[in-house]
C-alpha cells in the first residue's frame, strides 16, 4: 500500500506493507534514529511517538491505521517550544533520562503534560478506538502522583526512579503554566 502521512511536518508518500508497524516504518523507511526499541511489541516503552498529538507505542500501530496521520517523533518534537519546557525541567531538577530512553520519556512527559494542562490535540484523528485524552487537570500540589507514576512506568528503562520522574513532571508543569499565563 502507499501510506500518505506527515512525519515531523514533512508530507510523505511511502510504499509499505499494510501490516508494517509504525516503528519499522520510521526506522527502516524514514531513517529515524531517535527510536531505540527492540522489544517487538512486548511493551518496553522505548518507541513512543505522537500520532495526531496523542502518545502511542509505535510498535503497536500498523500502517493501515495511519492514513493521513500526523506523526511526530522526538526528532521533530525536539525542535518545538514544548520540548524546551521539559528540557528546562530536566536541568532544574538535575535529573535526566539516559540516552536510551531520553526520546521516549520526553514524549511521554509531554503526553502527561497535555493531560494535566487540558491542552487539546489538533489535526485529524486517527481511526483508532478510544482516541481520547484522559483529563487529569488540577493544581500542581494536588496532582495524582500515583496515576502519573503509573503513566511513567510505561517506559521500563531503569535509569530513573518514579519519584524523580514525578518531580520532573511537576517542574515541567509549572514551567508550562507560567509560559501559558505570560502568553495569555
Partner 1 sequence: MYEELKSSTVHTPATLAEYGEIINRFPDAINYAGGTYLVARPDFYPSDDNKVIIDLSNIAELQRITRTDRFVEVGAMVSASQLIDAGRLVLPSILLEALSSIGSTIVCRQITIGGALCIPDNRLSLSTALAVLDAIAEIKIFMKNGKSVTRWIPVSRLYDKEGKLVNFEGRILLTHIRIGLEVGNYQKFLFAGDPFRDGSEAVILAFHAERSSNTLGKVQMCINFPRMAFFLSKEIIGQISGLTLPIPPSMIMIVTGKLRAEILNTNPNIGELPLVRALRMFESVLHDLNTLYLQS
Positions touching partner 1 (CB under 8 A) are 1, 15-21, 24, 28, 40-43, 48, 54-57, 59-62, 64-65, 108, 111, 115, 127-132, 134, 150-154
**Contact of 116 with 173, CB cutoff 8 Å:** yes
Q: How far apart are CB 117 and partner 1 at their closest, in Å? A: 15
Q: How far apart are CB 145 and partner 1 at their closest, in Å? A: 14
Q: Which helix (H) or strand (E) holds 48?
A: strand 48-51
**Contact of 59 with 36, CB cutoff 8 Å:** no
Q: How far apart are CB 114 and partner 1 at their closest, in Å? A: 11
Q: Which 8-state DSSP code applies to residue 21?
A: B
Q: 73-110 in b/e burial notation, b at 16+ Cβ within 10 A?
A: bbbbbbeeebbebbeebbeebebbbeeebbbbbbbbbb
Determine how β-strand 2-7 pairs with β-strand 54-57. unpaired
Measure the CA angle with vertex 20, ends 55 and 78; round to 5°: 35
Pick 62 or 95: Cβ nearer partner 1: 62
Pick 94 or 130: Cβ nearer partner 1: 130
Q: How far apart are CB 17 and partner 1 at their closest, in Å? A: 4
Pick 57 or 101: Cβ nearer partner 1: 57
Pick 86 or 152: Cβ nearer partner 1: 152
Pick 13 or 182: Cβ nearer partner 1: 13
Q: How far apart are CB 59 and partner 1 at their closest, in Å? A: 7
Measure the CA angle with vertex 105, ends 104 and 109; round to 5°: 120
Amino acid at each position: 500500500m502507499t501510506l500518505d502521512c506527515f512525519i515531523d511536518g514533512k508530507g510523505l508518500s511511502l510504499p509499505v506493507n499494510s501490516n508494517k508497524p509504525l516503528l519499522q516504518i520510521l526506522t527502516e523507511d524514514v531513517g529515524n534514529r531517535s527510536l531505540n526499541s527492540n522489544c517487538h511489541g512486548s511493551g518496553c516503552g522505548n518507541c513512543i511517538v505522537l500520532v495526531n498529538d496523542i502518545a502511542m507505542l509505535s510498535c503497536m500501530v500498523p500502517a493501515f491505521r495511519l492514513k493521513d496521520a500526523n506523526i511526530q517523533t522526538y526528532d521533530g518534537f525536539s525542535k518545538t517550544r514544548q520540548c524546551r519546557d521539559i528540557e528546562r525541567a530536566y536541568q532544574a531538577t538535575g535529573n535526566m533520562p539516559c540516552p536510551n530512553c531520553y526520546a521516549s520519556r520526553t514524549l511521554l512527559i509531554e503526553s502527561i503534560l497535555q493531560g494535566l494542562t487540558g491542552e487539546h490535540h489538533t489535526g485529524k484523528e486517527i481511526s483508532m478506538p478510544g482516541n481520547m485524552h484522559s483529563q487529569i487537570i488540577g493544581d500542581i500540589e494536588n496532582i495524582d502522583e500515583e496515576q502519573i507514576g503509573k503513566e511513567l512506568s510505561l517506559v521500563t528503562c531503569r535509569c530513573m526512579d518514579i519519584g524523580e520522574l514525578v518531580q520532573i513532571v511537576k517542574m515541567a508543569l509549572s514551567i508550562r503554566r507560567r509560559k501559558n499565563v505570560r502568553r495569555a
